[in-house]
Amino acid sequence: MAAPAAATARAQALSLLAAANNHGDLAVKLSSLRQVKEILLSLEPSSSAEIFPYLAELHLSREILVRKSLIEIIEEVGLRMLDHSYVLVNVLLVLSRDEDPVVAKKSISAGTTFFCSILEEMTMQFHHHGNVDRWCGELWTWMVKFKDAVFSAALEPGCVGVKILALKFMETFILLFTPDASGPEKVSSEGIMF
């Protein structure tokens, strides 16, 4: 997208985010968010990333559907632009502890997808280059914080649905970090690798 067109799209996205943040009508808020998502997907990743902090402010919205829509945008846009999504991962961390179970479950689900994608990206970078880019390491730091928050949600009293998703995240975590017994390293019945 050319620079003037990108600037126009950025201004339009910021205007729509202001409407999503301040308008009294929920339908207008949700429509504005759908339009923002389309704009973010059409912009270059660095231009979209400039809008992410304004998008992240919506995690404070009182409307459950706005917070839920925010998570959907984060998942779709953030996964396409991992190297620019640290602000968005922080929102997932905060919303994983949301008082509304629907929002918390959606956040844990999206966070699980991010966790797997970031781990895969780190593995690929290390395999191909022998190191991990700084942005990926910083993003991983946020994912470790996310993991800790979800693990504690699984162990604390609360909504059963949230606890189940937290346990599913724990299962995914364990499977990702457990060596494959059919691979070059074999695990004996005593759990010793050889």
Q: Which helix (H) or strand (E) holds 194?
A: none
Residues near 63 by beta carbon (within 8 Å), at least 6 away in sequence: 26, 29
Q: At what angle do helices 64-80 and 86-95 cross, to 10 degrees?
A: 150
Q: Look at residues 98, 6, 7 and name the one whose alpha carbon lies nearest to residue 61.
A: 98
56-67: average pLDDT = 94
**Distance of CA 34 to CAs 29, 43, 189, Å?**
9, 15, 52
- pLDDT tens digits, 145-171: 999 999 998 888 888 888 888 888 888
Cα gap 14→113, rounded to integer Å: 27
pLDDT in tens, 30-46: 999 999 999 999 988 88
C-alpha–C-alpha distance, residues 98 and 75, integer Å: 17
Give the per-residue pLDDT at 48: 87
Q: Which residue type is seen at 1?
A: M
Looking at residue 161, its pLDDT comes to 84
Torsions phi, psi of 93, nearest 5? -60, -50
DSSP, res 193:
B
pLDDT for 190 equals 46
Distance in Å from the first CA to the final CA of the chain: 54
Please write the tens of the pLDDT for every residue from 9-27. 889 999 999 999 888 889 9
Average pLDDT over residues 44-52: 88
Which residue reads 């067109």 in tokens? 5
- For residue 61, what are its two tokens? 């919205």
Q: Average pLDDT of the chain? A: 86
> Residue 192: pLDDT above 60?
no
At 171, list the tokens.
Answer: 């299962």
Rounded Cα–Cα distance for residues 137 and 54 (Å): 24
Evaluate if residue 188 carries a pLDDT over 70: no
Question: Do 99 and 84 form a contact (C-beta atoms < 8 A)?
Answer: no
pLDDT for the residue 183: 55
Q: Name the band, by pLDDT with cuts 50, 70 and 90, for residue 184.
A: low
What is the residue extent of each domain of the chain? Answer: 3-176
> Which CATH number among 3.30.70.3420, 3.40.710.10, 1.25.10.10, 3.30.70.260 corresponds to the domain 3-176?
1.25.10.10
CA torsion, points 146, 151, 157, 162, in degrees to nearest 10? 60
Instruction: Note the pLDDT of residue 194.
Output: 35
pLDDT band for position 181 (cuts 50, 70, 90): low
- The whole-number pLDDT of residue 47 equals 85
Q: What is the pLDDT of residue 114?
A: 92
- Residue 173 — pLDDT band, cuts 50, 70, 90? confident
pLDDT at 105 over 80: yes
